[in-house]
Chains A and B, each alone.
Chain A
Amino acid sequence: MDWTMYIYKTIFLVIILLVTLLVAMYSTYGERKVAAFMQDRLGPNRAGIFGLLQPIADGIKMFMKEEIIPLSANKKMFILGPSIAMTTALLTGVVIPWGGTLTIFGHEFPMQIADLNIGILYVFAMVSIGVYGIMLGGWASNNKYALLGSIRAASQMISYELAMGMSIIALILTTGTLSLHEIVDQQQGMHWNVFYQPLGFLIFIICAFAETNRAPFDLPECETELIGGYHTEYSSMKLGFYLFAEYVNMFISSAVIVTLYFGGYHMPFIDHIGLSGNVATLLGTFFFFIKVFFMIFLFMWVRWTLPRFRYDQLMNLGWKGLMPLAIFNILATGVFYYFTELT
């Protein structure tokens, strides 16, 4: 790697960071608009045209609020919690391929920060570290509701991580690689993995809902039972970090789903239009974001349609429903490839 590459990667990293934050910011607005639409209301419409400035107003409000650290709380851990939640949420974006390769002045710049050959596992590692943010925050608050919320969150995330990992194993059997870049390249021309692994996709997306603590799996913060769950004691921007990390997670997991199952930045019929390299790449990125936005919309759609699970139902679904299905999926995929590739 020469110096231009280092500079490019740094700039690209900052751009990805800003785009992630921007998308997460406007997801909050989108969520409220979608909710309003589903419930036949208008939603936020006071700040700016169509209420477009609402996220900024919310952000300023969050910063201006008084910051309270409860006296009985463990101060170090209380601050560490939201920091970990936010950091791990943002770190996952590093391995996602956001687009093809740009060619500027004879240099080739891939639109991916790090093409690790274990890309999927890296995502899993970050998700599994993300549990600590919620656990520590809930514990350090020294509040029963917060502790209950954080324990629920941790057990839920551990349970659904298993089924998620198993659904990924079946995907790896079909693709034969762990690198996200190669997985995307294999899906060129509508060979999307969702057609080869429909069951795996279903398990993966259900687990993604559970991992991001979104409804119908939002038991860690369910208001009717636990006040606010793990962030009951939080105020000001630390609360903002927790809420924001959820939206960042939603965006990143949508991007991961699109990358793994919906062909990433490949769009159908791109070869027939006959565009030059750079334009096609940028168009691919644009198409990638359209897919991601649809996925985010799906997240919201589900949230405002389905009621919340009960806790035992949640655990039953994870361990007795999704786990056996995922194992069956691995077995079926393995048998299929064993008999088709021997010939």
Chain B
Amino acid sequence: MEPVLAKLLAASLITPFLTFWILVLWGPKIGKPRAGWVGLIGGMGVPLALSAVVFVTWFFTSPEQRAELTAAAQHSQVLWAQLGRFDVTFGVKLDSLTVAMHFMVCFIAFWIFFFSIGYMSGHADCVHHQSKYWRFFAYLALFAFSMLGLVISPSLLFLFIFWELVGLCSYLLIGFYFETDYAPPAAMKAFITNRVGDFGFIIGLGIVFTFLGTLDLEGAAAAFKTQLATSTGLFAPQVTVPIFGWTFSGMTLATLMGVGLFCGAMGKSAQFPLHVWLPDAMAGPTPVSALIHAATMVAAGVYLVARVFRLLTPDAQMFIAVIGCITLTFMALIAIVQTDIKKCLAYSTLSQLGYMIFGMGVGAWTAALFHLITHAFFKAMLFLGSGQVIEGCHHVQDMRRMGGLRTKMPVTCWTFFVGVLAIAGFGIPGVHLGHWKFGLGGFFSKDEILAVAYDRAYNWGRFGAPSEGHAEAGANGEARPANKEKHADGGTRSAESAAGGRGVRLAAFSSGSSEEVQHSAAGTPAQKAAGSEKDAHGAEGGEHHASEKDGVASGIQALPKWMFWFAILTAYVTPFYMFRAWWLTFMGHPRDHHVHEHAHESKMMTTPLVVLAVGTLVSSYFLFRPMLSHAAEAAADAPLVVAVDGEAHEPAAALLSLDHTPERDPHKKLVGLVGFAFLIGFAVSWAIYRNGLDVASRIKAIPPFNLLHTLLERKYYFDELYDFLWVRGCRAVAAVCAFIDTWVIDLVYNLLSGVTERIAAFSGRVLDAQGVDGFVNGISETANDLAEVLRKPQTGGIRKYVLWSVGLATAAIAALIVVMRVNGG
């Protein structure tokens, strides 16, 4: 039983890979509709079947058995390569997170593949009289392979490999309409922006490899924990590493590692400074936007953060939270002014990804992943809905030309509305249907993230200082006397002082971004005391218990309040712009009769919409939430993680949990703050867009709003800024290089080549032609002339020869006789 699940997950990679090659090699022969079906069955059908088996089995497996299975999968990795003493192993990461993500990816991708067959068949896709229909499905199959590989990777190395593969697929699919003038730059932009993030990722990987000694996720996390507890390796005070002229050490280096790894996620999940590629990526076909740029690949960044969560220091998490907060707020504001239906959804995706990253940053691990999954469902559905609209309206994407489409495409209209409700956080707070609370997936997932954010912003003071929350945590500590006893070494018996010691240490390291602080602190007695404290912790083997968690918490600054309020603001903005998009597209009166008359919807495309709508309504909370609660065990020993409700069972007991004292319960506070945000957002939106665009355009003309509108419409001038800084900068550098090339390097080369040419001419014309050739020719000519002379007597007449020889012999003898006479006398 135990290897089977892992093997099934691994087997799910095989058919997409084969399908890719089949389509690449024989795609044109397979033909237009059939290539799509091949892609659907091979690329996603088989993996979905395998994944469903795994998911259902896992769902009904007890937590103890799950832990065994996880360990078994971890230990049955295959040696892939050996580099010196470093073993590269490949295997399958089998835990609740993988299973949930795998099933989510397979399920959504299957229906998007299905949708694609309908969507792509309606497209004229010939370039130079060759259909590239098959190519689309080949890319999708490759993407399926890479994404599933990414999800099951147990090591950062393979995570990185598949990470780059999904990036490649994204590039290929954004640039699918390469014959247009807008798709290739968009594809390049996506690719290059991702390279920037991946550069940070590589640095992070380098630090992980150097200091943690392994790229395996489990091994790295274990090494990190031990080193943090014992102040060795990465955290040894004497370790310093210069990177780009800055020197990093200890906690700062660990923070840099976390930030580096997060940079990868920043690129892939399009977070704030690197967000510019995602809206442009809408140049790709709409199913691609749904699959890659809304549901799965962009969420891979969040998945990566979830996977490396145990390697993040509190400072790194604060960085992540800030980035997430900026992204979620400012991108949501841009979405208000977008008129292109896909662009609007793209900014919404950016904002929601910001939510997830923000959740990760504040420590709401489970909540962020839960939001990832609910978001994947409803955003895929929203994108497919927009694809149906675009297809039905013959490639009109401008919402200003739509309106009134509900009569022409009712299924799309109402499934889209389900998506709008889900993303707006529709739910009725406090209402329970028996055991189940009433609301859509987005309601719960956002509520959980905001609850943790509230707790970190307003209730954080309870840690480190005696309070009710602390007493509760202390009770947890009492429940584990064994730990207490171990902890008793070195006279640090009380939990308070332990917390204090750890707090000093974390504070020292957190402020260690400037080296002076770090080094001056190193010699003080306080630090020495903290050092002995650390040894005491090391003796425990880094095992967590509540008091230690409290100590960590007291050393971490609370969340700045503005971040919480930004998130709250977004909770009001999101329903506004989503309702606006829905209303402008489907409701009201048709604004362009030409578009309206030709609008239609097709069965092939509405089926996935309905399936995903049902998924949005029921599956996410019932199926995925319990599994993710269980998955939280994987993150339980992270430096900073906050448990949301429902995760307080035994292995996760060490998590910091929310403060549930009545006057400070975050959920109760949130009911008042954002419980009815969706209603307010909908209402304002309805009031403005009820009768089309007139009210909006009048608002636009009022002085403060017109400037704001321009600012938002130009996306805070980020494209211009990047164009100025990077594109122009690059070109300026290139121009300088070209100048140097032309006037320095070419000059030298031309000079050298001129001299060489002269030398060659001399050597060729004079030395070779006259000297060497003259000598050789001279010999042959001499031989020739001699032969001419010598051939004269060779007449061929035998009688002449006889005469000659006799005559000459006679003459010779006569001469001999004469000579003898003269000499001899």
A complexed with B: no
Residues of B within 8 A of A (CB): none
Q: Which A residues are within 8 Å of any B CB, using their own CB? A: none
